[in-house]
Amino acid sequence: MAKPVTLFICSACGAVHKKWSGRCDACGDWNTITEEAPLSAGPGKTALGAMKGKRIGLTDLRTEETPPPRRTSGMAELDRVLGGGLVPASATLVGGDPGIGKSTLLVAGRR
């Protein structure tokens, strides 16, 4: 069995540290690092996966970045699913559960 891992997490910014410190290196706040209970890396459970994350509001995810340029694939339905078309110099993986319509989408869209 894997050795239990103790993590020290900053309550202000969510940064993870291997040891306790009075000051968070990531955000510079003092006295915000708290020790999390030791976690064992059992099956399907990792220290990082089980730890608490920093809560982020959906409004914080807004961005000023312009969306990437799109190039039409020639398949209207595929373009719609991709949000306007293919992004040049990128790879697109079409995935999903069996029977969800991956092949249908790509075959039916061909002209």
Q: Which residues bind Zn ion (CB under 5 A)?
A: 10, 12-13, 15, 24, 26-27
Q: Min. distance of Cβ 17 from Zn ion in angstroms?
A: 9
Q: Min. distance of Cβ 5 from Zn ion in angstroms?
A: 19
Which of 13/87 has CB closer to Zn ion?
Answer: 13
Which of 15/41 has CB closer to Zn ion?
Answer: 15
Contact 39, 48 (CB under 8 A): no
Which of 8/106 has CB closer to Zn ion?
Answer: 8
Which of 45/54 has CB closer to Zn ion?
Answer: 54
Q: Min. distance of Cβ 37 from Zn ion in angstroms?
A: 19
Closest alpha carbon to 72 in 58, 82, 62: 82
Q: What is the DSSP letter of 80?
A: H
DSSP result, 1-37: -PPPB--EEETTT--EESS--SB-TTT--BS-EEEPP
